[in-house]
Amino acid sequence: MGTPLTAMSQCTFEIQSQSVEQTITFGEQLAKHLRAGDWVTLDGELGAGKTHLIRGIAQGMGADGHAVASPTFVLMHEYEPEDLDQPLLIHIDAYRLERSDDLINLGWSDVANEAVMMIEWASKVSEALPVDRLQITLRHVDDHTRAIELTGYGKWEDRMENLPKFSQ
């Protein structure tokens, strides 16, 4: 089993991942709870594990996880699941965006309702984010360990209790 949940409030919890594999597995488990129209934000310093977590989520949604890399230079990637009943995955890296408006100008708005939106470095564009969102913050604990904190806002508050609380 992984590390037990630390409950901080009803709509926030934290798990610890002890390896890259645990982070990816947690992403795969989390993906089962995501649906079209959802927004997930990821923050945490360089190398905290944001992209690896998204890789796991992509795999869990039936897209090719190996295709997931930090889109730092292209800013936005779109991953199509093999199963067309699954939502698209839109992965944006806001690291190089200067203003919240820049997020809107990336041109995802036509497909947002059919997609799960995942935003790395979301704090850089916080004013452009919807209220209803799952916020994920990753922290280095040591070389192989990362703390992953999840907070639900708006409609996500009620969905938090169903999310996986372990990474194994």
Ligand X SMILES: Nc1ncnc2c1ncn2[C@@H]1O[C@H](COP(=O)(O)OP(=O)(O)OP(=O)(O)O)[C@@H](O)[C@H]1O
Which spans of this chain sit near ligand X (rule: CB under 6 A)? Answer: 17, 19-20, 22-23, 44, 46-52, 70, 144-146
Q: Which of these, 67, 129, 57, lies nearest to 87 by C-alpha position?
A: 57
Collapsing DSSP to helix, strand or coil, 88 comes out as strand
In the bound state with Mg ion, the residue whose beta carbon lies nearer, of 51 and 135, is: 51
CA distance to 23, 55, 59, 104, 152, per residue, from 26 (Å): 5, 10, 11, 29, 17
Alpha-carbon distance 73 to 71, whole Å? 6
Residue 99: how many CB atoms within 10 A of its CB? 12
In the bound state with ligand X, the residue whose beta carbon lies nearer, of 46 and 84, is: 46
23 binds, among Mg ion, ligand X, none (CB under 5 to 8 A by kind): ligand X
145 DSSP β-pair partners: 142
Q: Interface with Mg ion by CB under 5 A: which range of 18-26, 49-57, 105-113, 135-143? A: 49-57
- Gyration radius from the chain CA atoms: 15
Q: Which of these, 143, 103, 107, 139, lies nearest to 123 by C-alpha position?
A: 103
In the bound state with ligand X, the residue whose beta carbon lies nearer, of 11 and 39, is: 39
Number of residues counted as binding Mg ion (CB under 5 A): 3
In the bound state with ligand X, the residue whose beta carbon lies nearer, of 11 and 92, is: 92
Answer yes or no whether residue 70 interacts with Mg ion by CB under 5 A.
yes
> Contacting Mg ion (CB under 5 A), which of 29, 50, 136, 148?
50
Answer yes or no whether residue 167 interacts with Mg ion by CB under 5 A.
no
> Contacting Mg ion (CB under 5 A), which of 16, 22, 25, 51?
51
Question: What is the nearest approach in angstroms of ligand X to the Cβ of residue 157?
Answer: 25
Question: What is the nearest approach in angstroms of Mg ion to the Cβ of residue 15?
Answer: 19
Report DSSP state, residue 48. S
What residues make contact with Mg ion under the rule CB under 5 A? 50-51, 70
